Chain A
């Protein structure tokens, strides 16, 4: 498995911590998923100290923490949020989200590249949430990113990989760069498919948190990424248009 800024991770599954019905469900789902990375965020702290309780629970999961800049719409806002996250979570890892469109939550790739450069120059390990655009990927690597996180489909849509061709192109163009499909995964087969295509990880949240039974879905996702990764390693057969008998014809009895 490729390393992420020098860190090898035990599972290609990265799991979000939002939208669970309770902290207990989140914790059980995480343990069942075998996820190696937990995404987290920063929000205003009230007097109740809810953030501190959450932090204690996430820390006990024993996984790598990947803070995000979710909801940021400008370079300045994203950079400041990243700086604050680095201090609070004590990690240089940052999932850089710069949203450009309200309905699709599509990344603003122009600002994304700009912010990635500022953060990489400042010592951050940037995980850019990007579209599947090849040239943007190239620019992000030039900016100092060593990981790309193309979307499969819009955040929370659960629509699966909308453009496999683009993901294949990214894989072919950047064979040594860790690729993580971030967003759009709805069911385990989507995650399997991403791994079959040769991606190095899958980041998802809603698919588990909003399943009727998040803990069972977390287990399913663990198996899904494992199956896909093994399939990629095993070098799958090429599909054909016509049938090709798998049972040998030689030696068949003459009975007609």
Chain B
């Protein structure tokens, strides 16, 4: 299905958020949001994706 991941449209096979992370090779320390709502790590496997979902995968970054 088509979703938007970190602002970029992509085609994915995964049906859940945890599946998407695996598909994208994101095994590190990241936080996730679906359609601008935070999804905690322990809720990712229950979080089913739908076409058009906007997913954000964020990681530690330099900041002031």
Contacts and interface: CB of A to CB of B under 8 A. Distances in A.
Q: Answer whether A and B are interacting partners.
A: yes
Interface of A: 16-20, 26, 39-47, 49-52, 54-55, 58, 67-68, 70, 76, 80, 83-85, 87-89, 155-156, 205-206
Interface in B7-48: 7, 24-26, 28-33, 36-38, 40-41
A54 B29 CA distance: 11
A41 B62 CA distance: 6
Given A44-B58, A49-B28, A51-B29, A68 B38 contact: no
Given A16-B64, A84-B33, A42 B28 contact: no
B63 A45 contact: no
A42 B33 contact: no
Interface residues of B, number: 25
A64 B50 CA distance: 39
Given A55-B29, A88-B29, A88-B31, A45 B62 contact: no
A61 B28 CA distance: 19
Contact of A51 (B7, B24, B32, B59): B59
Given A49-B28, A76-B36, A83-B38, A39 B58 contact: no
Contacts of B59: 42-45, 49-52, 55, 88
Given A89-B60, A155-B64, A45 B28 contact: yes
Given A47-B25, A84-B38, A42 B31 contact: yes
A88 B58 CA distance: 9
Interface of B: 6-7, 24-26, 28-33, 36-38, 40-41, 56-64
Given A51-B28, A52-B28, A84 B58 contact: yes
17 contacts: A17-B64, A18-B63, A19-B62, A40-B60, A40-B61, A41-B60, A42-B61, A51-B29, A51-B30, A51-B61, A52-B29, A55-B28, A80-B38, A88-B30, A88-B31, A88-B59, A89-B60
B57 A44 contact: yes
A183 to B, nearest CB: 8
Contacts of A155: 64
Contacts of A51: 28-30, 58-61
Q: List the 5 closest A-B pairs by CB distance, nearest first.
A: A51-B59, A41-B63, A16-B64, A84-B31, A45-B59
Contacts of B60: 40-42, 51-52, 54-55, 58, 88-89
B7 to A, nearest CB: 7
A232 B58 CA distance: 42
Nearest to A83: B38
A85 B33 CA distance: 12
Given A51-B28, A51-B30, A55-B29, A43 B61 contact: yes
A217 to B, nearest CB: 15
